[in-house]
Homo-oligomer: A and B are copies of this chain.
Amino acid sequence: MSLFSSRGSRYRFCGMLMALACSVPVCSGLAAENRKVIIDDDDSLSLAEATLLKAPGVDVLGITVASGNRWRDDEINRMLRGLEILHRTDVPVVPGAIYPLINSEKLTEKWESLYGRLIWKGAWMKQWVEPTNQPDPNYHAPDFVPTPADGNATTKPTKEIAANFLIRMVHAYPGQVTILAAGAMTNLALAERLDPEFASLAKELVYMGGSLNPHQQLSTVAAGQYAREFVNSPRREFNLRFDPEAASIVMHAPWRKITMVPSDPATATELSADFLHRIASRNADISKLVAHWQPGSPMWDEIAATVWLNPQIVTKSTQLYVDINTQFGAGYGDTLSWSPGYQPDLDEQKETVVETINPTALLATMEQILARP
From B214, B331, B344, give the contact of A329 (CB < 8 A): B331
Residues of chain B lying within 8 A (CB to CB) of residue A2 = 217-219
Write out, one digit per residue, whether chain A residues 243-257 have a CB within 8 A of any chain B CB (1) or not (0). 000000000000000
A327 within 8 A of partner (CB): yes
Asked if A117 CB lies within 8 Å of chain B CBs, one says yes
> A119's closest neighbor in chain B, by CB?
B342
Interface stretch, picked from A229-237, A309-317, A362-370, is A229-237
Give which listed residue, B129, B213, B329, B344, contacts A327 with CB less than 8 A.
B329
- Distance in Å: Cβ of A215 to nearest Cβ of chain B: 7
Interface residues on A, range: 35 or more
Residues on B with beta carbons closer than 8 Å to the beta carbon of A331: 325, 327, 329-331, 334
When each residue 284-327 of chain A gets 1 if its CB lies under 8 Å from chain B and 0 otherwise, what string results?
00000000000000000000000000000000000010000101
State A110–B215 Cα separation when bound (angstroms). 33
Task: Point out which of A113, A115, A228 has the most chain B C-beta atoms below 10 A from its C-beta.
Answer: A115
Set of chain B residues within 8 Å of A173, measured between Cβ atoms: none
Contact of A336 (CB < 8 Å), options: B112, B325, B330, B338: B330
Residue ID in chain B nearest A344 by CB atoms? B116
A281 close to chain B: CB less than 8 A: no
CA distance A241 to B218 in the complex (A): 33
List the B side residues contacting A212 at CB < 8 Å. Answer: 232, 234
**Known A215-B213, A217-B3: A234·B232 in contact at CB below 8 Å:** no
Per-residue CB contact flags for chain A residues 1-18 toward chain B (1 = under 8 Å, else 0) read 111101000000000000
> Does B327 lie within 8 Å of A116, measured CB to CB?
no
Q: Is A337 at the interface (CB under 8 A from chain B)?
A: yes
B3–A343 CB distance below 8 A: no
New contact pairs (18) apart from A212-B234, A232-B342, A327-B327, CB-CB < 8 Å: A1-B4, A1-B218, A1-B219, A2-B219, A3-B219, A112-B344, A114-B344, A114-B346, A116-B344, A130-B341, A213-B214, A213-B215, A232-B339, A235-B235, A325-B329, A325-B331, A330-B331, A330-B334
A-B contact pairs, 5 of them (CB 8 A): A115-B336, A213-B214, A232-B320, A234-B234, A234-B235
